[in-house]
Amino acid sequence: MHPFTKLLLVLALVVLVFWLVTKFRDRQVPEDPMPPVPVSDLPPGVQASIDHAISEGKTINAIKIYRDATSASVAQAKQAIDVRSWQRRP
């Protein structure tokens, strides 16, 4: 292969990589359209289960209980459980 052809191929590859990096670097993750439902708005039995899981330090279980009750995303559930944890602190 001629050296000039190799140079053009390398240059084309560099331009392609640069274009891909700049295209995907500026992408933003869309935010959740709806804020999470507060735990205090859930039925008392669900609230008790979530509070029990939080008090035992089982945050992941609390998130699972919340998601089962609300069909929320993981991010929304985590946010709601974090708020509930902060509210329960003395």
pLDDT < 50 stretches in the chain: none
DSSP character at residue 39: G
pLDDT of the residue at 2:
87
The SS3 of residue 66 is helix
**pTM attached to this predicted model:** 0.64
42 neighbors 50 (Cβ within 8 angstroms): yes
Written as one letter, the residue type at 59 is T
Distance CA 41, CA 18 (A): 49
72 neighbors 82 (Cβ within 8 angstroms): no
